[in-house]
Each structure stands twice: as structure tokens, then as C-alpha cells.
Amino acid sequence: MAEMMTTQAGDAGAFRNFDLSRVPTPCFVVDEKAVERNLRILADISDRSGAHVLSALKAFSMFALAPLIRQYLGGTCASGLYEARLGREEYGGEVATFCAGYKDADIDEILALSDHIIFNSPAQKDRFLAKASAAGKQVGLRINPEHSEGEVPKYDPCAPCSRLGTPVSQLDAQALNGVDGLHMHTLCEQGFEPLQRTWASVEPKLAPFIDSLRWLNFGGGHHITRDDYDRDALVELIKGIRSKYGIEVYLEPGEAVALDAGILIGEILDLPQNGMNLAITDISATCHMPDVIEAPYRPALMDEADAGHTYRLGGPSCLAGDVIGDYTWGTPLHIGQRFAFLDQAHYSMVKTNTFNGVPLPTIALWNSETDALNIVKQFDYDDFKQRLS
């Protein structure tokens, strides 16, 4: 589930010490020490609760950091064939794959790559159960708890007529035939309390079936590494479930792995006027931060002023709606000036595109303790052209 739907305050942290002129623009810069800080918190949750914590590649799949991530987490969760392959090749540990619909052409390879394969419906489970069993894989079924905690219907898997998960009211012995575990992913950028309420709602409905299961997977959307997250309560909930039912528990944080760990640096290209101050930048909302338009949300600007000179920032594409938002600086902008949006490591990096031939941002890895900087990937014309040939 996505995906930066709310306005985040962002935490500049060590990035205030980073010289924005050190990299070409646009550029994602990820602080490996900030990622490690998050990983330590997640590993502590795993150690104290006994939960299996997997990194959600759909949110953050910068595999340059795979060696670091596998030091702390138990593996990855994938949303299909390519992510499952990336998880198996680069990260190690367990690979749990969920897809809303599997293709016959992909299923054998997905099974070979995955430890758990999670189906969206009993029909898909029944269709591929024999193959999964023959391959010795654990089989999961995604459920819809029919308890909504989503703040925006577009990102709420429990919204009416949702296509994600089997409604818990439809569970029966046939639906659970051959099923080792249940998966539920109902949160988005949320604290502990929505998970607690969801479990309180769904636990009685699962009571007739839970003794036959080996595991429960609570999916992602947990902002575990946020300062105000009640991590002790999460630990106690998981310990209680494991003790009461003799069952394993999985968590699949995505944003929490890379929360406040990356920035997107841009440059001012032009400063036109049309009823207000405008600024054309080499960062495109539609190409580099599509959640700005899809969610929508307003990314936080590093060191934005409370008052001064306000500009409407937009990208270089031909899309009229390629607008990032209105932002304020203490002094007037100038052509060539650098700026940075906060908390851009998760989702923005994996959702970039080359609409209009807009170049993809460079990807850089920075160590805020040593100040070491490594350009991980620079994209060029061939990256655009090869997608279209």
C-alpha cells in the first residue's frame, strides 16, 4: 500500500551538513547511517518479540544497501516476480511473495524464488496449490479484516469492494485448505494503535481457524522507526499472539526501513511570473515524485522558511499538473540554486519514470559519519531509449 499519502514534516537530520553541490541534479542521496539506525530499531523489535521482520522491496529496493539490511532483518517481501528475484539474488534470508494475481507463465519461477507464496483469493490458491505443495513452499492467503483504518479510501485495502484480500467473513474450511498462514496488510504510515484495533476486530473471526495455521503476517504500513511509535506495545502484542496461539508472526515494514534516510536534490532552472512567483526545477513531480500527484501529498522542503518569498515549484515536463507545491524561502531564489526535499528514499526512488524523456535522478549513497560519498548509479539516454525499443 502506498505511499506517502500524508504531509510529512520530515527530519533533515545530518543532511543539513551535506553540501548539495557535491552531486549532479536531480539526485537521490541516501544516508546509510540513517538506514542503519532504522534497521537497529527493527532488529530490536524482532529480538524482543520473536517476530520475523522482512524488508518490503516495494517501498525501498536500493540493493546497494542489501549487505547492510541482511545484517539486521530476516529477508524480504516481494510483490511479484522481479522483486522476488531481487530479494533472492541480493538480500538473502526469507522471501515472502504476494501478488494480487499470478500468471501461469511466472508461477514456476516465483515458487523457485520464494519461501512463502501468498495468494489473494482462494481461487488463485486452489489453482496453484498443487505446484506450491510439490515445490515444498509455504502457502499463504491474504485476508481483508473488514475493519478499516485507512485515512484515504484510495489507499485503504479494507474500503468497500476492495480487490485486495479475501473478506474474513468468507473464510471457511475450503478457503483455508492447504493454507499455512494468513496475511493482512491494512495500514499506511500509521502507528501502533490502528494495528491494535485491527487485531481486536479480526481475532474473534479467526478463532475457528487459527489452530490450523503456522503463521500470521501483519504486512507493512507500520511506522515502527518513527519516534512516537509505541514499540513496547507492539512487542507485547506480538509476544501475546505467539504465546496464546503457538504461531509465528511476520512484519513487512517498507517505509520504516528508509524513513528520514534520503533526500532528493534539485536545481532552479527558471523563475517566471504568472500571478505569483513560479520556479521551474529539474525535479518533476510526475516523473520523480509521482505520489505528489497520486496521493496527493506535499513533500517537506529542507529548511523551508516560515515567511519570506513564496514560489510555486514545478517540473520541466509538458504536463500542466507537474506541480510540486508552494514553498517559502527567506531570500529570493536565483537560477542554479540547489534545494532538497526530505524523506525521499522510500517510494519516490522506486516509482520514478521517464515521461517526456525527463532524465531519471542519479542515486548516491552517503555516510553521515565518515562523509564518504558514492555515486551508485547515473542514468543516461540509453536508460530512456531501451525502455521504448
pLDDT in tens, 331-364: 999 999 999 999 999 999 999 999 999 999 999 9
pLDDT digit string (tens) for 37-86?
999 999 999 999 999 999 999 999 999 999 999 999 999 999 999 999 99
The three three-digit cell numbers of residue 132, written as one number: 506450491
Cβ(267)–Cβ(337) below 8 Å: yes
The three three-digit cell numbers of residue 265, written as one number: 536534490
Instruction: Label the pairing between strands 52-53 and 373-377.
Output: unpaired
Compute CA distances 25 → 107, 282, 283, whole Å.
Answer: 40, 7, 8
pLDDT digit string (tens) for 87-117?
999 999 999 999 999 999 999 999 999 999 9
Mean pLDDT score, 250-272: 97
Cβ(252)–Cβ(96) below 8 Å: yes
β-pair partners for 119: 141
Compute CA distances 92 → 64, 180, 220, whole Å.
Answer: 13, 22, 19
Dmax (CA) for the chain in angstroms is 67
Mean pLDDT score, 152-163: 88
Average pLDDT of the chain, as a whole number: 95
